[in-house]
């Protein structure tokens, strides 16, 4: 059974409390929180005050995905805003090993996200030090994009690497996840599924989350 992390990016921001309470009552495991700076990605989402507001209502761990340059400047602030998992982009960190150490010192689980063009093989030297890899299965910046099919292969390759280097590693897939690709991703070795548009645009988000959760 995978962990399910619905992306709050697709929630109704004018009814954020209502949507977070819906997630509290669902079978979701984590809340996925997308932070965009308009520099690392060509879009802005929301920042620290909104994270604090979500935290006041959230009863599940917050999985914070930082799509920002120089994320080391904001790690402590996002921990204080409620992050349980802090994920930074490989492509945004010149001193990734140091940044991962800082995340762990703050008491958070440490994640590294990679864009669709970044090879999983670049992660070999950092894999033993991290808790999670977030494989982007779309180019980050927007919800509701089409899933990139090459992602299955990346999940398989990364799971093989993790078996040797860090068997407890979480492999999270983020972008365009739906009921068609989710079982294939789990079979390939993913154990955390992010889903934004697929959950929030469905007629019955609670059932949609439960269906994802029930994947063998
Ligand atoms: C994309 C974000 C994703 C996004 C996923 O930049 O990192 O977390 O919210 O949304 P869907 O599931 O709609 O592709
Ligand atoms: Zn994300």
112-136 pLDDT per residue, tens: 999 999 999 999 999 999 999 999 9
Q: Read off the pLDDT of each residue in 94-107 and give the average, rounded to a whole number.
A: 98
Q: What is the pLDDT of residue 150?
A: 98
Q: Read off the pLDDT of each residue in 63-90 and give the average, rounded to a whole number.
A: 98
d(CA 12, CA 20): 10
d(CA 210, CA 213): 5
Q: Read off the pLDDT of each residue in 27-32 and give the average, rounded to a whole number.
A: 98
Q: How many CB atoms lie within 10 A of CB 185?
A: 25
Whether the Cβ atoms of residue 88 and residue 96 lie closer than 8 Å to each other: yes
Measured in angstroms, how far is the CA atom of residue 109 from the centroid of ligand 2? 16
Measured in angstroms, how far is the CA atom of residue 172 from the centroid of ligand 2? 10
Q: What is the pLDDT of residue 157?
A: 98
Average pLDDT, the chain: 98
Q: Which residue owns the Cα nearest ligand 1 atom 4?
A: 143
Domain borders along the chain are 3-213
CATH T-level topology, domain 3-213: TIM Barrel (3.20.20)
Q: What is the pLDDT of residue 121?
A: 98
pLDDT band of residue 191 (cuts 50, 70, 90) is very high
Q: What is the pLDDT of residue 202?
A: 98
Q: Which residues contact 101 (CB under 8 A, 6 or more apart)?
A: 129
Q: What is the pLDDT of residue 196?
A: 98
Question: Measured from the CB, is residue 147 less than 6 Å from ligand 1?
Answer: no
Of the listed ligands, the closest to the CA of 9 is 1
Question: Measured from the CB, is residue 87 less than 6 Å from ligand 1?
Answer: no
Catalytic residues: 34, 174
**Ligand 1 pocket mutation, candidates 4, 5, 6, 7, criterion most atoms within 8 A of CB:** 7
Measured in angstroms, how far is the CA atom of residue 157 from the centroid of ligand 2? 21
Q: What is the pLDDT of residue 91?
A: 98
**Ligand 1 pocket mutation, candidates 182, 194, 200, criterion most atoms within 8 A of CB:** 194
Q: What digits encode the pLDDT tens for the residues 148-175? A: 999 999 999 999 999 999 999 999 999 9
Phi/psi class of residue 4: alpha, beta or left (left: φ > 0; alpha: ψ in -120 to 50)? beta
Question: Measured from the CB, is residue 145 less than 6 Å from ligand 1?
Answer: yes
Percent of the chain topping pLDDT 90: 100
Of the listed ligands, the closest to the CA of 44 is 1
What is the per-residue DSSP string for 123-190? GTTTGGG-SEEEEESS-TT-SSPPPPTTHHHHHHHHHHHHHHH-TT-EEEEESS--TTHHHHHHHHT-
Question: Measured from the CB, is residue 35 less than 6 Å from ligand 1?
Answer: no
């Amino acid at each position: 059974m995978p962990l399910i992390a619905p992306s709050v990016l697709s929630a109704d921001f004018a009814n954020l409390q209502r949507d977070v309470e819906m997630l509290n009552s669902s079978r979701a495991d984590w809340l996925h929180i997308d932070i965009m700076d308009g520099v690392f990605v060509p879009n802005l989402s929301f920042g620290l005050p909104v994270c604090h507001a979500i935290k006041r209502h959230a009863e599940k761990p917050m999985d914070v995905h930082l799509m920002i340059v120089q994320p080391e400047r904001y790690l402590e602030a996002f921990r204080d805003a409620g992050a349980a998992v802090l994920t930074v982009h490989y492509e945004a960190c010149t001193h990734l090993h140091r940044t991962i150490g800082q995340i762990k010192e703050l008491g958070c689980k440490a994640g590294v996200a990679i864009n669709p063009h970044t090879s999983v093989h670049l992660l070999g030297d950092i894999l033993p030090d991290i808790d999670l890899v977030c494989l982007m299965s779309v180019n980050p910046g927007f919800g509701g994009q089409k899933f990139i099919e090459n992602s299955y292969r990346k999940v398989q390759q990364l799971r093989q690497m993790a078996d040797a280097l860090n068997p407890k590693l979480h492999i999270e897939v983020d972008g365009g996840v739906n009921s068609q690709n989710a079982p294939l991703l789990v079979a390939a070795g993913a154990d955390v599924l992010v889903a934004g548009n697929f959950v929030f645009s469905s007629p019955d988000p609670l059932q949609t989350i439960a269906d994802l959760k029930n994947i063998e």
